[in-house]
Amino acid sequence: MTETQKQEALRYPKPSPPWLGEPQLGAWYTDEEIDAAVAAMRSSMDWTGEGFGFIVREIEEFEEAFARYCGTKHAVSVVTASVGLDMAMMCLDLEPGDEVISPAINFRASHHAVLGQGGKLVLCEVDERTLQADPADVESRVTDRTRAIFPVHMNGLSAPMDDLLDIAERHSARDGRPIRVIGDAARACGGGYRGTKIGKRGWMTVFSFHTMKLMTTLGEGGMVTTDDDDVAARLRDVRQWGGAHEDHWGSSYKLTKVQAAVGLVQLRRLDEMISRRRALGKQRSELLCDVEELTLPFEPPDCEHSYYLYTTLVPREWAGAKRDRVMSVAESEYGVGCIVANPPTYESVPYIRKRTQALPRADELGARIICTPMHPLMTGEQNAYVAAALQDAVERARTEGT
């Protein structure tokens, strides 16, 4: 972006309050979602009928549609993605000392799920270009107690699933127990990987429909996809008090009828919303491509990034205070909020810090990340304003360093 282009873009009115680095509504609703919610409510008003559930037609249709979308045999809806992560760990039947490998650059939910089921959390480094689990580092941490590799599809981009599945297959014979690969796709619903949708590769994949996510079901919600019939049956038992199998523990982790009705509409519109995000991401990268201090999002040729967040890195020598200065200028001067998504979980979560180890690459990358606002309803003018604000903040930090 030239200086003239930057100044033109910065004529856009300063947002007040500042735009959030991670908007509180990641998708948007149309009249179709509202009509679907109202119809589901009205159909539940006959006291002689089914009311709002338990597992009703709307929920079954949503699950079937989601499974078709991802190309899997099964999709099991749950009340939140965090519950889905917990349930995935339950299916491992972890014993004392069993290990689960997961990236240090992460949100706390997946790490809490491992620790909550009594597993030993083994952190791994991420690839600097993609912020996804580094297969070479993952393999170096596999032991005869490894039960699962637990990558996160970070900020909208797929983890290198085939590489991780290959590692799991080659090491599974150590004690006769398979190493499972379980994906956390809370931020990546609708993204692509090697001709498939995220959710197809792996033993299980967990999705989020939280209010901030790429598609939403009235604030909360989640889904677990799998091709494993036994796992799908167990997940359904766990979410409803153990189901028909007396040997399965269970509770109540169900999505509601109204949420499922809305989810069906959101799913039909998901590709449209992802397409808008991808166009904005491409435009922003074109505008920022000459800012030498910024490493822009990388999309491998076999992936389709959904741009849940637009993630950049400042130089190593800017890690920490100078990175923070860039973020401060963008927000205070231009109303463009920035977030760090995510530093290593052990930095901000004492519960995790006490139970695992720090990693040097994760420490460095966590101090270099800047994520700027992204939303599918953002206009081209607004997107240019975000890029110009970030560019100007970087230029100020550059000048201050001389």
- Split at pLDDT 50, 70, 90, the class of 101 is very high
Residue 95 has a CB neighbour count (10 Å cut-off) of 11
Q: In what order do the strands lie in the sheet with 192-193?
A: 196-197, 192-193, 303-304
Q: Say yes or no: 16 and 142 in one domain.
A: no
346 and 317 in a single domain? The answer is yes
Residue whose C-alpha is closest to residue 214's, from 238, 192, 181: 192
Q: Do 233 and 332 have their domain in common?
A: no
**pLDDT at site 177:** 84
Residue 243 confidence class, pLDDT cut points 50, 70, 90: confident
- Please check whether residues 39 and 137 belong to one and the same domain: yes
pLDDT at 53: 83
Residue 110 clears pLDDT 60, i.e. is over it? yes
pLDDT attached to residue 175: 66
The kind and range of the H/E element at 205 are: strand 204-208
Return the CATH number at 47.
3.40.640.10
Assess whether 60 and 207 both reside in one domain.
yes
Q: Is the pLDDT of residue 245 over 70?
A: no
- 313: enclosing H helix or E strand: strand 310-313
307 plus 395 within the same structural domain: yes
- Cα 232 to Cα 35, 67, 126, 244, 252: the distances in Å are 31, 12, 30, 13, 16
Tell me: do 160 and 219 sit in the same domain: yes
Cis geometry, peptide bond prior to residue 342 (ω within 30 degrees of 0): yes
- 304-334, pLDDT tens digit by residue? 999 999 999 999 999 999 999 999 999 999 9
Quote the domain boundaries for residue 258. 31-265
Q: What are the φ/ψ torsions at residue 216 (nearest 5 degrees)?
A: -135, 155
Last residue of a domain, one of 265, 295, 315: 265
Question: For residue 321, what is the enclosing H or E element?
Answer: helix 321-334
Whole-angstrom distance, CA of residue 358 vs CA of residue 128: 17
CA dihedral of 215, 217, 223, 225, whole degrees rounded to 10: -50
Per-residue model confidence (pLDDT) at position 125:
98
C-alpha pair distances (Å), 153 with each of 131, 193, 305, 332: 9, 11, 10, 31
Last residue of one domain, picked from the residues 222, 239, 265: 265
Q: Which two tokens stand for residue 108?
A: 């706390």
* Section 181-208 average pLDDT: 98
Rounded to 5, what percent of the chain is helix, strand, coil?
45, 15, 45
- Spatial separation of the C-alpha atoms in residues 197 and 225, rounded to whole Å: 11
Q: Which of 265, 298, 327 is the last residue of a domain?
A: 265
Preceding omega of 23 cis (within 30 degrees of 0) = no
Q: Are residues 246 and 309 in the same domain?
A: no
- The structure tokens listed for 223 are 């889904």
Q: What is the pLDDT of residues 116-132, one digit of tens each?
A: 999 999 999 999 999 99
> Which residue is associated with the tokens 């100078």?
322
pLDDT in tens, 27-43: 999 999 999 999 999 99
Question: What does the DSSP 8-state code read for residue 394?
Answer: H
Rounded to 10°, the helix 108-116/81-90 angle is 40
The answer on 258 and 112 residing in a single domain is yes
- Radius of gyration, alpha carbons of the chain: 22
Q: Give the residue-averaged pLDDT of 232-241.
A: 94
Using the predicted structure, report yes or no on whether residue 246 has a pLDDT greater than 70.
Answer: no
Residue 376 belongs to a domain with what CATH number? Answer: 3.90.1150.10
Contact status, residue 146 vs residue 179, Cβ threshold 8 Å: yes
User: What is the total count of domains within the chain?
Assistant: 2
Same domain (yes/no): 106, 236: yes
pLDDT digits (tens, 9 = 90+) for 140-165: 999 999 999 999 999 999 999 999 99
**Shared-domain flag, residues 144 and 65:** yes
Average pLDDT of the residues in 187-213: 98
Nearest-angstrom CA–CA distance, 63 and 60: 5
Specify whether 56 is located in the same domain as 161.
yes
